[in-house]
């Protein structure tokens, strides 16, 4: 079956978050299942630079000016279509914002083109390859199902919600620039409180809707986490399901990871201790094997619960633990973490920014991976933590709830515990989780057993790929 994935970024070509990990790994996992998968991406410079065997497919006149459509291959040999439009994509800042963190004023055009071009591919503009399924990811590709619907549905659409909180909201007056039928701007369409919502378009027009974990699929159908779209999601409940993301073991595996200080496995953990010592030395922390090292690798936002970590940080250090953070985001939060590290450099270390190699080193060197999110569609950080034996300390929400089993006495006795899970979104609840981690740390035999169970847990992409394959088949592909 031929499937076109449509998204804004893809590892290893371009990554700002977990979306890129998914779009980079899922096509590879689908390939052994007789899925002929290609990906459509915006022509950001790093994406064009990372492709080989690039050829021209077409030149097109669009509502956003003249563009080229190119085709090339990733280092993993995945076929990629790229919208070649330097006037839209060759800019400073990141893919979504300028250097001052302001969204580009023409983002509605830059990302609407993903839907428009995907539809042209579905109609056969490439005479050598035409998809039966077009699978759009998150709000950037939210107009894919809308353009397909406007064109008479030349392919069946699947829309995956990676994070409902980011919806691609634009002013109503920009709708006329998108060249969609006028009646699409309506309550039963793109209109959302008088504005355009790319996310709503994907949910309304898609033939099937998925989220990145089963629990999140349930949660977004409630007013608490539905972000104003829960009513529509309940109305489309019969085509909504959750498929848990996976871990690309070719990239994330402590036995083969070339970015960490020493390799190790579930049965040979001596390399884990070397990675911890290397991380402590790199970050200027006290070299102490007996102290648990807590870590955060995250965007610094309220959603991720990092203000709770700040509030509970003294609980970790007063009990003798250490803490390391890699992340960026809210300026005040960045400053607060930097100040905490300056006040206690032996126990707290902070690196502001994002560094792919360093994130691997933190996973390998830490004992505990903290993910105390307010909401979490799936979460990849805790999955990496499990794989690397950094026990996740997570809130019972979304994909975190689906992937981590609390170290309660009952679960310890049954040998199924893989981390620590707390319930409420508060400093007090997080503190209880921290205390439970320290209690487990004080019992080395139990700690080792939980760590090994965590590392044995299989969250590879094969299971997710099988479920997507079955979904495509159910749509007649």
Is residue 15 a known part of a binding site?
yes
CA atoms within 13 A on the CB side of 403: 35
Give me the count of residues in the chain. 477
CA separation for the pair 260, 178 (Å, rounded): 47
Q: How far is CA 473 from CA 132, 244, 249, in A?
A: 11, 18, 26
> What does the longest C-alpha to C-alpha distance in the chain come to?
66
Q: Which residues contact 85 (CB under 8 A, 6 or more apart)?
A: 42, 43, 64, 65, 67, 68, 113
CA separation for the pair 464, 337 (Å, rounded): 36
CA atoms within 13 A on the CB side of 167: 19
Place of tokens 């406007």: 150
Identify the CA nearest to 229 among candidates 161, 277, 296.
161
CA separation for the pair 365, 351 (Å, rounded): 15
Q: What would the two tokens of residue 332 be?
A: 């005040």
Which helix (H) or strand (E) element contains residue 430? Answer: helix 427-441
Q: Which residues contact 399 (CB under 8 A, 6 or more apart)?
A: 212, 213, 215, 216, 244, 245, 376, 377, 378, 379, 382
Q: What would the two tokens of residue 167 be?
A: 């919806």
> Which residue ranges make up the annotated binding site?
15
> Which residue ranges make up the annotated binding site for ADP-alpha-D-glucose?
15
């Amino acid at each position: 079956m031929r499937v076109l994935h449509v998204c804004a970024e893809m590892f290893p070509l371009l990554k700002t978050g977990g979306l890129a990990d998914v779009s980079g790994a899922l096509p590879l996992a689908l390939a052994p299942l007789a899925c002929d998968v290609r990906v459509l991406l915006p022509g950001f410079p790093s994406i064009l630079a990372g492709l080989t065997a690039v050829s021209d497919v077409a030149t097109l006149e669009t509502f956003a000016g003249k563009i080229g459509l190119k085709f090339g291959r990733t280092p993993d040999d995945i076929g990629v279509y790229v919208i070649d439009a330097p006037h839209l994509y060759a800019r400073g800042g990141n893919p979504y914002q300028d250097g001052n963190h302001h969204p580009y004023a023409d983002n509605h055009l830059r990302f609407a083109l993903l839907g428009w071009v995907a539809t042209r591919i579905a109609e056969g503009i490439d005479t050598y390859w035409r998809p039966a399924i077009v699978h759009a990811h998150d709000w950037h590709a939210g107009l894919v199902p809308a353009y397909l619907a406007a064109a008479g549905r030349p392919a069946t659409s699947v829309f995956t919600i990676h994070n409902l909180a980011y919806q691609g909201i634009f002013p109503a007056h920009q709708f006329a620039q998108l060249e969609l039928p006028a009646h699409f701007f309506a309550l039963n369409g793109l209109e959302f409180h008088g504005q355009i919502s790319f996310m709503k378009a994907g949910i309304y027009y898609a033939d099937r809707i998925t989220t990145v974990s089963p629990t999140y699929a349930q949660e977004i159908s409630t007013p608490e986490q539905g972000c104003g779209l829960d009513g529509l999601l309940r109305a489309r409940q019969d085509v909504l399901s959750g498929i848990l993301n996976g871990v690309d073991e070719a990239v994330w595996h402590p036995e083969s990871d070339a970015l960490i200080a020493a390799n190790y496995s579930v049965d040979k953990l001596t390399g884990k201790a070397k990675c911890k010592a290397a991380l402590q030395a790199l970050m200027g922390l006290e070299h102490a094997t007996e102290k648990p090292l807590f870590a955060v690798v995250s965007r610094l936002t309220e959603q991720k619960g990092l203000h709770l970590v700040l509030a509970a940080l003294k609980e970790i250090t007063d009990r003798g633990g250490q803490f390391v953070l890699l992340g960026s985001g809210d300026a005040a939060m960045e400053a607060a973490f930097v100040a905490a590290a300056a006040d206690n450099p032996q126990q707290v270390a902070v690196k502001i920014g994002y560094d792919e190699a360093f994130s691997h080193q933190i996973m390998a060197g830490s004992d505990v991976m903290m993910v105390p999110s307010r909401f979490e569609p799936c979460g990849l950080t805790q999955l990496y933590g499990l794989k690397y034996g950094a026990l996740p300390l997570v809130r019972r929400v979304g994909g975190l709830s689906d992937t981590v089993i609390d170290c309660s006495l009952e679960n310890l006795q049954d040998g199924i515990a893989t981390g620590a899970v707390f319930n409420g979104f508060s400093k007090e609840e997080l503190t209880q989780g921290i205390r439970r981690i320290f209690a487990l740390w004080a019992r080395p035999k139990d700690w080792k057993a939980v760590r090994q169970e965590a590392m044995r847990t299989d969250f590879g992409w094969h299971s997710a790929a099988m479920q997507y394959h079955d979904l495509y088949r159910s749509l007649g592909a």
